[in-house]
Structure 1
Amino acid sequence: MRYRVTLACTLIGVALCLFNATGYDPHNLFLAMFSVPMWFVEVFGDIHQVNVWFMYVLTVLSWALIGYVSDRLIARTQSRSRRTA
Protein backbone atom coordinates (compact mmCIF):
# COMPACT_ATOMS: atom_id res chain seq x y z
CA MET A 1 0.00 0.00 0.00
CA ARG A 2 1.27 3.44 -0.90
CA TYR A 3 0.87 6.19 1.66
CA ARG A 4 0.28 9.12 -0.67
CA VAL A 5 -2.47 10.75 1.35
CA THR A 6 -0.48 10.31 4.55
CA LEU A 7 2.48 12.08 2.99
CA ALA A 8 0.32 14.87 1.57
CA CYS A 9 -1.48 15.45 4.87
CA THR A 10 1.79 15.40 6.81
CA LEU A 11 3.19 18.02 4.44
CA ILE A 12 0.06 20.13 4.98
CA GLY A 13 0.64 19.95 8.74
CA VAL A 14 4.31 20.89 8.36
CA ALA A 15 3.45 23.78 6.03
CA LEU A 16 0.83 25.03 8.46
CA CYS A 17 3.31 25.00 11.34
CA LEU A 18 6.04 26.65 9.27
CA PHE A 19 3.61 29.33 8.13
CA ASN A 20 2.75 30.08 11.74
CA ALA A 21 6.35 29.91 12.98
CA THR A 22 7.62 32.38 10.37
CA GLY A 23 5.28 35.08 11.66
CA TYR A 24 3.02 35.37 8.64
CA ASP A 25 0.15 34.21 10.87
CA PRO A 26 0.55 36.70 13.74
CA HIS A 27 -2.83 36.08 15.37
CA ASN A 28 -2.66 32.28 14.96
CA LEU A 29 -5.73 32.42 12.75
CA PHE A 30 -4.73 29.64 10.34
CA LEU A 31 -3.28 27.48 13.07
CA ALA A 32 -6.49 27.78 15.06
CA MET A 33 -8.63 26.96 12.02
CA PHE A 34 -6.71 23.98 10.67
CA SER A 35 -5.09 22.39 13.72
CA VAL A 36 -7.30 19.79 15.39
CA PRO A 37 -5.35 19.84 18.70
CA MET A 38 -5.77 23.61 18.86
CA TRP A 39 -9.54 23.18 18.76
CA PHE A 40 -9.38 21.18 21.97
CA VAL A 41 -7.00 23.63 23.61
CA GLU A 42 -9.31 26.53 22.80
CA VAL A 43 -12.33 24.70 24.22
CA PHE A 44 -10.78 23.29 27.39
CA GLY A 45 -7.98 25.70 28.27
CA ASP A 46 -6.06 28.85 27.56
CA ILE A 47 -4.18 28.92 24.29
CA HIS A 48 -1.46 31.13 25.78
CA GLN A 49 -0.59 28.58 28.47
CA VAL A 50 0.35 25.81 26.01
CA ASN A 51 3.84 25.36 24.60
CA VAL A 52 3.71 26.30 20.91
CA TRP A 53 6.29 23.66 19.89
CA PHE A 54 4.19 20.96 21.53
CA MET A 55 1.20 22.20 19.51
CA TYR A 56 3.26 22.08 16.31
CA VAL A 57 4.19 18.45 16.97
CA LEU A 58 0.60 17.54 17.77
CA THR A 59 -0.60 19.34 14.64
CA VAL A 60 1.77 17.44 12.35
CA LEU A 61 0.92 14.14 14.06
CA SER A 62 -2.81 14.75 13.81
CA TRP A 63 -2.55 15.58 10.10
CA ALA A 64 -0.45 12.45 9.57
CA LEU A 65 -3.08 10.39 11.40
CA ILE A 66 -5.84 11.86 9.25
CA GLY A 67 -3.86 10.92 6.14
CA TYR A 68 -3.14 7.41 7.42
CA VAL A 69 -6.80 6.76 8.18
CA SER A 70 -7.70 8.06 4.72
CA ASP A 71 -5.13 5.75 3.11
CA ARG A 72 -6.50 2.76 5.02
CA LEU A 73 -10.07 3.58 3.94
CA ILE A 74 -8.96 3.97 0.32
CA ALA A 75 -7.11 0.65 0.42
CA ARG A 76 -10.11 -1.12 1.96
CA THR A 77 -12.45 0.33 -0.66
CA GLN A 78 -10.12 -0.70 -3.47
CA SER A 79 -9.73 -4.24 -2.12
CA ARG A 80 -13.51 -4.62 -1.88
CA SER A 81 -13.98 -3.43 -5.45
CA ARG A 82 -11.35 -5.89 -6.68
CA ARG A 83 -13.06 -8.80 -4.90
CA THR A 84 -16.43 -8.03 -6.43
CA ALA A 85 -15.11 -7.47 -9.93
Structure 2
Amino acid sequence: MRYTFTWVLALIGLALCLFNATGYDPHNLFLFMFSVPIWFVELFGDIHQVSVAWMYVLTVASWALIGYLADRTVAASRARRRA
Protein backbone atom coordinates (compact mmCIF):
# COMPACT_ATOMS: atom_id res chain seq x y z
CA MET A 1 0.00 0.00 0.00
CA ARG A 2 1.42 3.39 -1.01
CA TYR A 3 -0.61 5.63 1.33
CA THR A 4 -1.25 8.16 -1.44
CA PHE A 5 -4.57 9.37 -0.04
CA THR A 6 -3.12 9.60 3.46
CA TRP A 7 -0.35 11.96 2.37
CA VAL A 8 -2.53 14.05 0.07
CA LEU A 9 -5.31 14.55 2.60
CA ALA A 10 -2.83 15.23 5.43
CA LEU A 11 -1.27 17.94 3.25
CA ILE A 12 -4.73 19.37 2.56
CA GLY A 13 -5.36 19.50 6.31
CA LEU A 14 -1.99 21.17 6.85
CA ALA A 15 -2.70 23.69 4.09
CA LEU A 16 -6.07 24.45 5.67
CA CYS A 17 -4.41 25.13 9.03
CA LEU A 18 -1.67 27.25 7.49
CA PHE A 19 -4.25 29.21 5.51
CA ASN A 20 -6.08 29.97 8.74
CA ALA A 21 -2.96 30.66 10.83
CA THR A 22 -1.52 33.16 8.34
CA GLY A 23 -4.64 35.31 8.50
CA TYR A 24 -6.01 34.72 5.01
CA ASP A 25 -9.12 33.25 6.64
CA PRO A 26 -9.96 36.14 9.00
CA HIS A 27 -13.40 34.89 10.02
CA ASN A 28 -12.35 31.21 10.25
CA LEU A 29 -14.85 30.35 7.54
CA PHE A 30 -12.79 27.67 5.78
CA LEU A 31 -11.49 26.18 9.01
CA PHE A 32 -15.00 25.82 10.40
CA MET A 33 -16.29 24.31 7.14
CA PHE A 34 -13.53 21.76 6.57
CA SER A 35 -12.23 20.82 10.04
CA VAL A 36 -14.01 17.71 11.29
CA PRO A 37 -12.92 18.11 14.96
CA ILE A 38 -14.26 21.67 15.05
CA TRP A 39 -17.67 20.37 13.98
CA PHE A 40 -17.80 18.25 17.13
CA VAL A 41 -16.48 21.02 19.36
CA GLU A 42 -19.21 23.32 18.09
CA LEU A 43 -21.88 20.70 18.75
CA PHE A 44 -20.85 19.80 22.29
CA GLY A 45 -19.03 22.82 23.67
CA ASP A 46 -17.76 26.33 23.24
CA ILE A 47 -15.17 26.82 20.50
CA HIS A 48 -13.59 29.69 22.44
CA GLN A 49 -12.61 27.34 25.27
CA VAL A 50 -10.45 25.10 23.05
CA SER A 51 -6.81 25.70 22.11
CA VAL A 52 -6.33 26.70 18.48
CA ALA A 53 -3.07 24.74 18.27
CA TRP A 54 -4.86 21.61 19.48
CA MET A 55 -7.55 22.12 16.81
CA TYR A 56 -4.86 22.44 14.13
CA VAL A 57 -3.24 19.17 15.25
CA LEU A 58 -6.58 17.38 15.34
CA THR A 59 -7.53 18.78 11.93
CA VAL A 60 -4.39 17.44 10.26
CA ALA A 61 -4.75 14.12 12.09
CA SER A 62 -8.40 13.75 11.11
CA TRP A 63 -7.68 14.41 7.44
CA ALA A 64 -4.79 11.92 7.58
CA LEU A 65 -7.14 9.35 9.15
CA ILE A 66 -9.71 9.91 6.40
CA GLY A 67 -6.94 9.41 3.83
CA TYR A 68 -5.76 6.24 5.58
CA LEU A 69 -9.28 4.82 5.50
CA ALA A 70 -9.48 5.64 1.79
CA ASP A 71 -6.13 3.89 1.21
CA ARG A 72 -7.35 0.81 3.09
CA THR A 73 -10.54 0.77 1.01
CA VAL A 74 -8.58 0.99 -2.25
CA ALA A 75 -6.15 -1.73 -1.12
CA ALA A 76 -9.02 -4.04 -0.15
CA SER A 77 -10.70 -3.40 -3.49
CA ARG A 78 -7.52 -4.22 -5.38
CA ALA A 79 -6.96 -7.38 -3.34
CA ARG A 80 -10.53 -8.51 -4.01
CA ARG A 81 -10.10 -7.84 -7.72
CA ARG A 82 -6.91 -9.94 -7.87
CA ALA A 83 -8.40 -12.89 -6.00
> Normalising TM by the smaller chain, what interval?
over 0.9
Q: Which aligned runs of 4 or more in structure 1 are off by greater than 3 angstroms?
A: none
- Deviation of 1:18 after TM superposition, in Å, equals 0.1
**How much has 1:49 moved relative to structure 2?**
1.0
Q: Secondary structure at the match of 1:65?
A: helix
Corresponding residue pairs, total: 83
* Larger CA Rg, structure 1 vs 2: 1
Inter-partner Cα distance in structure 2 for 1:19 and 1:60: 13
Give the corresponding residue for 1:4. 4
Equivalence for 1:52: 52
1:55-66 to structure 2, matched below 5 A, reads 55-66=55-66
Percent identity of paired positions between Structure 1 and Structure 2 = 71
* TM-score, normalising length: structure 2: 0.98
Shift of 1:48: 1.1
**Cα RMSD for the two superposed structures:** 0.5
Alignment partner, residue 16 of structure 2 = 16
Which residue identity lines up with residue 65 of structure 1 in the other structure?
Answer: L
- State TM-score, norm by structure 1: 0.96
Deviations 1:9-40 (A, max 9, x none): 00000000000000011111100000000000
Structure 2: segments with no counterpart, 5+ residues:
none
CA distance in 1, matches of 2:56, 2:69: 20
Per-residue deviation, 1:57? 0.2
- Distance in 2 (CA, whole Å) between partners of 1:21 and 1:48 is 16
- 1:32 matched to 2:32? The reply is yes
